[in-house]
Amino acid sequence: MKISYHGHSVVQIQTNGKTILIDPFITGNGLTDLKAEEVKADVIILTHGHNDHVGDTVAIAKRNDALVVANADLTTFLSWQGVKTHGMNIGGSYQFDFGRVKLTQAFHGSGYATDKNEIVYCGMPTGILFSNEGKTIYHAGDTGVFSDMKLIGERHPIDVAFLPIGDNFTMGPEDAAYAAKLLNAKTVIPIHFNTFPPIKQDPYQFIDMLESKNGKVLVPGEAIEI
Protein backbone atom coordinates (compact mmCIF):
# COMPACT_ATOMS: atom_id res chain seq x y z
CA MET A 1 0.00 0.00 0.00
CA LYS A 2 1.40 3.39 -1.05
CA ILE A 3 0.35 6.54 0.81
CA SER A 4 1.21 10.08 -0.28
CA TYR A 5 0.56 13.54 1.17
CA HIS A 6 -0.38 16.55 -0.97
CA GLY A 7 -0.65 19.56 1.30
CA HIS A 8 -3.31 20.68 3.80
CA SER A 9 -5.29 17.46 4.53
CA VAL A 10 -5.02 15.82 1.11
CA VAL A 11 -3.95 12.17 1.32
CA GLN A 12 -3.79 9.65 -1.50
CA ILE A 13 -3.87 5.89 -0.98
CA GLN A 14 -2.98 3.39 -3.71
CA THR A 15 -3.97 -0.18 -2.93
CA ASN A 16 -4.79 -3.21 -5.09
CA GLY A 17 -4.88 -1.12 -8.26
CA LYS A 18 -7.25 1.50 -6.82
CA THR A 19 -6.51 5.16 -6.12
CA ILE A 20 -8.30 6.73 -3.16
CA LEU A 21 -8.23 10.46 -2.38
CA ILE A 22 -9.07 11.88 1.04
CA ASP A 23 -10.23 15.53 1.27
CA PRO A 24 -9.05 16.69 -2.20
CA PHE A 25 -8.71 20.43 -1.58
CA ILE A 26 -6.49 21.31 -4.55
CA THR A 27 -7.74 24.53 -6.16
CA GLY A 28 -6.78 27.29 -3.73
CA ASN A 29 -4.32 25.07 -1.87
CA GLY A 30 -1.00 26.85 -2.27
CA LEU A 31 0.94 23.93 -0.79
CA THR A 32 -0.23 21.13 -3.05
CA ASP A 33 1.77 19.54 -5.84
CA LEU A 34 -1.40 18.36 -7.60
CA LYS A 35 -3.41 19.87 -10.45
CA ALA A 36 -7.15 19.33 -10.05
CA GLU A 37 -7.74 18.82 -13.76
CA GLU A 38 -5.13 16.04 -13.93
CA VAL A 39 -5.96 14.08 -10.78
CA LYS A 40 -7.11 10.51 -11.25
CA ALA A 41 -9.14 8.74 -8.58
CA ASP A 42 -11.39 5.74 -8.23
CA VAL A 43 -12.70 6.80 -4.83
CA ILE A 44 -12.90 10.02 -2.82
CA ILE A 45 -13.45 9.90 0.94
CA LEU A 46 -14.40 13.10 2.77
CA THR A 47 -14.07 13.87 6.46
CA HIS A 48 -16.54 16.78 6.52
CA GLY A 49 -18.25 19.47 4.49
CA HIS A 50 -15.94 22.47 4.86
CA ASN A 51 -14.80 23.93 1.55
CA ASP A 52 -11.12 23.30 2.29
CA HIS A 53 -11.85 19.56 2.51
CA VAL A 54 -14.59 19.01 -0.08
CA GLY A 55 -12.42 21.07 -2.42
CA ASP A 56 -12.46 19.74 -5.98
CA THR A 57 -14.50 16.64 -5.19
CA VAL A 58 -17.34 17.24 -7.64
CA ALA A 59 -15.14 17.96 -10.65
CA ILE A 60 -12.74 15.09 -9.92
CA ALA A 61 -15.54 12.61 -9.23
CA LYS A 62 -17.44 13.47 -12.40
CA ARG A 63 -14.37 13.31 -14.61
CA ASN A 64 -13.24 9.96 -13.19
CA ASP A 65 -16.66 8.46 -12.45
CA ALA A 66 -15.34 8.11 -8.90
CA LEU A 67 -17.36 7.04 -5.88
CA VAL A 68 -17.60 9.60 -3.06
CA VAL A 69 -17.83 8.20 0.48
CA ALA A 70 -18.73 10.45 3.41
CA ASN A 71 -21.38 11.03 6.05
CA ALA A 72 -24.92 10.67 4.71
CA ASP A 73 -25.82 14.38 4.85
CA LEU A 74 -22.75 15.37 2.86
CA THR A 75 -23.21 12.61 0.28
CA THR A 76 -26.84 13.66 -0.20
CA PHE A 77 -25.70 17.24 -0.89
CA LEU A 78 -23.09 16.02 -3.37
CA SER A 79 -25.47 13.57 -5.07
CA TRP A 80 -27.66 16.55 -6.00
CA GLN A 81 -24.68 17.77 -8.02
CA GLY A 82 -24.56 14.56 -10.05
CA VAL A 83 -21.92 12.71 -8.08
CA LYS A 84 -22.00 8.95 -7.39
CA THR A 85 -22.00 8.51 -3.59
CA HIS A 86 -22.12 6.10 -0.68
CA GLY A 87 -23.42 7.62 2.54
CA MET A 88 -22.33 6.40 5.98
CA ASN A 89 -22.34 7.70 9.52
CA ILE A 90 -20.24 7.71 12.68
CA GLY A 91 -19.52 4.25 14.06
CA GLY A 92 -20.59 2.54 10.86
CA SER A 93 -18.25 0.60 8.61
CA TYR A 94 -18.58 -0.87 5.13
CA GLN A 95 -16.51 -3.36 3.14
CA PHE A 96 -15.94 -1.98 -0.35
CA ASP A 97 -13.99 -3.73 -3.10
CA PHE A 98 -11.13 -1.29 -2.43
CA GLY A 99 -11.04 -1.76 1.37
CA ARG A 100 -13.01 -1.23 4.57
CA VAL A 101 -14.05 2.28 5.61
CA LYS A 102 -15.22 3.18 9.10
CA LEU A 103 -16.18 6.68 10.21
CA THR A 104 -15.21 7.89 13.67
CA GLN A 105 -16.27 10.95 15.60
CA ALA A 106 -14.47 14.27 15.23
CA PHE A 107 -15.12 17.53 17.05
CA HIS A 108 -15.43 20.35 14.54
CA GLY A 109 -17.97 22.00 12.20
CA SER A 110 -19.22 20.81 8.80
CA GLY A 111 -20.93 23.58 6.82
CA TYR A 112 -20.31 24.19 3.12
CA ALA A 113 -20.18 27.87 2.07
CA THR A 114 -21.87 28.41 -1.31
CA ASP A 115 -21.23 31.22 -3.79
CA LYS A 116 -24.61 32.64 -2.69
CA ASN A 117 -23.25 33.40 0.79
CA GLU A 118 -25.21 30.51 2.27
CA ILE A 119 -23.98 27.80 4.63
CA VAL A 120 -25.27 24.32 3.78
CA TYR A 121 -25.34 21.93 6.72
CA CYS A 122 -23.33 18.83 5.81
CA GLY A 123 -23.76 16.54 8.79
CA MET A 124 -21.37 15.62 11.56
CA PRO A 125 -17.62 15.88 10.93
CA THR A 126 -15.79 12.57 11.02
CA GLY A 127 -12.45 10.86 11.08
CA ILE A 128 -11.70 7.96 8.76
CA LEU A 129 -10.37 4.49 9.45
CA PHE A 130 -9.31 2.84 6.20
CA SER A 131 -8.20 -0.80 6.21
CA ASN A 132 -6.85 -2.99 3.41
CA GLU A 133 -3.95 -5.38 2.79
CA GLY A 134 -3.76 -6.02 6.54
CA LYS A 135 -3.01 -2.33 7.27
CA THR A 136 -5.06 0.43 8.90
CA ILE A 137 -4.80 4.17 8.24
CA TYR A 138 -6.47 6.76 10.46
CA HIS A 139 -7.19 10.23 9.05
CA ALA A 140 -8.49 12.30 11.95
CA GLY A 141 -10.03 15.00 9.75
CA ASP A 142 -10.40 18.33 11.53
CA THR A 143 -10.78 17.81 15.26
CA GLY A 144 -9.67 18.64 18.74
CA VAL A 145 -8.18 15.95 20.94
CA PHE A 146 -10.72 13.69 22.66
CA SER A 147 -10.27 10.84 25.10
CA ASP A 148 -11.96 8.23 22.87
CA MET A 149 -8.93 8.37 20.59
CA LYS A 150 -7.54 5.83 23.02
CA LEU A 151 -10.53 3.59 22.30
CA ILE A 152 -10.06 4.04 18.55
CA GLY A 153 -6.43 2.93 18.83
CA GLU A 154 -7.28 -0.03 21.04
CA ARG A 155 -10.11 -1.27 18.82
CA HIS A 156 -8.27 -0.66 15.54
CA PRO A 157 -4.47 -0.94 15.77
CA ILE A 158 -3.25 1.88 13.52
CA ASP A 159 -0.28 1.68 11.18
CA VAL A 160 -0.35 5.34 10.08
CA ALA A 161 -2.22 8.25 11.71
CA PHE A 162 -2.67 11.59 9.97
CA LEU A 163 -3.28 14.26 12.62
CA PRO A 164 -4.04 17.99 12.21
CA ILE A 165 -1.58 20.25 14.02
CA GLY A 166 -2.47 23.73 12.77
CA ASP A 167 -4.22 25.01 15.92
CA ASN A 168 -6.87 27.76 15.76
CA PHE A 169 -9.38 25.54 13.87
CA THR A 170 -8.13 22.15 15.11
CA MET A 171 -5.69 20.63 17.56
CA GLY A 172 -2.39 22.43 17.91
CA PRO A 173 0.92 20.58 18.15
CA GLU A 174 0.74 19.96 21.91
CA ASP A 175 -2.76 18.46 21.79
CA ALA A 176 -1.92 16.52 18.63
CA ALA A 177 1.11 15.01 20.38
CA TYR A 178 -1.18 13.89 23.21
CA ALA A 179 -3.62 12.49 20.64
CA ALA A 180 -0.76 10.49 19.11
CA LYS A 181 -0.05 8.99 22.53
CA LEU A 182 -3.70 7.96 22.93
CA LEU A 183 -3.88 6.43 19.45
CA ASN A 184 -0.58 4.54 19.77
CA ALA A 185 -0.10 4.49 15.98
CA LYS A 186 3.06 3.02 14.51
CA THR A 187 3.68 6.18 12.45
CA VAL A 188 2.26 9.70 12.95
CA ILE A 189 2.15 12.24 10.11
CA PRO A 190 1.10 15.89 10.61
CA ILE A 191 -1.50 17.51 8.34
CA HIS A 192 -3.61 20.70 8.21
CA PHE A 193 -0.84 23.22 8.81
CA ASN A 194 0.78 26.19 6.98
CA THR A 195 -1.95 26.50 4.32
CA PHE A 196 -3.26 29.75 5.82
CA PRO A 197 -1.66 32.24 8.27
CA PRO A 198 -3.78 31.19 11.30
CA ILE A 199 -2.51 27.59 11.05
CA LYS A 200 1.20 28.32 10.61
CA GLN A 201 3.23 25.65 12.43
CA ASP A 202 6.62 23.96 12.36
CA PRO A 203 5.85 20.26 11.75
CA TYR A 204 9.35 19.22 12.83
CA GLN A 205 8.78 20.72 16.26
CA PHE A 206 5.63 18.62 16.47
CA ILE A 207 7.63 15.49 15.62
CA ASP A 208 10.04 16.33 18.45
CA MET A 209 7.10 16.44 20.89
CA LEU A 210 6.11 12.83 20.25
CA GLU A 211 7.04 10.60 23.17
CA SER A 212 7.41 7.54 20.97
CA LYS A 213 9.52 9.42 18.37
CA ASN A 214 7.49 7.74 15.65
CA GLY A 215 6.61 10.82 13.61
CA LYS A 216 7.38 11.63 10.01
CA VAL A 217 6.91 14.86 8.07
CA LEU A 218 5.88 14.34 4.44
CA VAL A 219 6.44 17.22 2.04
CA PRO A 220 3.69 17.56 -0.59
CA GLY A 221 4.10 14.78 -3.11
CA GLU A 222 6.16 12.56 -0.84
CA ALA A 223 5.02 8.97 -0.33
CA ILE A 224 5.62 6.06 2.02
CA GLU A 225 4.84 2.38 1.61
CA ILE A 226 3.43 0.22 4.39
Q: Does a structural domain hold residue 38?
A: yes
Q: Calculate the alpha carbon distances from 6 to 25, 41, 42, 70, 223 in Å.
A: 9, 14, 17, 20, 9
Q: Does a structural domain hold residue 9?
A: yes
Give me the pLDDT at residue 57, please: 98
The residue type at 31: L
Q: Does a structural domain hold residue 100?
A: yes
Q: What is the CATH number of the domain that holds 6?
A: 3.60.15.10
Residue environment code for 153-166, b if the CB has 16+ CB neighbours within 10 A, otherwise e: beebebbbbbbbbb
Q: Does a structural domain hold residue 28?
A: yes
Give me the pLDDT at residue 84, please: 98
Q: CB count, 10 Å around CB of 130?
A: 26
Q: pLDDT tens, position by position, for the chain (226 residues)?
A: 999 999 999 999 999 999 999 999 999 999 999 999 999 999 999 999 999 999 999 999 999 999 999 999 999 999 999 999 999 999 999 999 999 999 999 999 999 999 999 999 999 999 999 999 999 999 999 999 999 999 999 999 999 999 999 999 999 999 999 999 999 999 999 999 999 999 999 999 999 999 989 999 999 999 999 9
The answer to whether residues 26 and 39 touch, using CB atoms and an 8 Å cutoff, is yes
Residue environment code for 112-127, b if the CB has 16+ CB neighbours within 10 A, otherwise e: beeeeeeeeebbbbbb
Q: Does a structural domain hold residue 99?
A: yes
Work out how many domains the chain is built from and give that number.
1
Q: Does a structural domain hold residue 220?
A: no
Q: How far apart are CA 119 and CA 113, in angstroms?
A: 5
The residues facing 188 across adjacent strands are: 161, 215
Give the range of the structural domain holding residue 141, as residue numbers without chain letter: 2-215
Q: Does a structural domain hold residue 178?
A: yes
> pTM for the whole thing?
0.97
Q: Does a structural domain hold residue 130?
A: yes
Give me the pLDDT at residue 99, please: 98
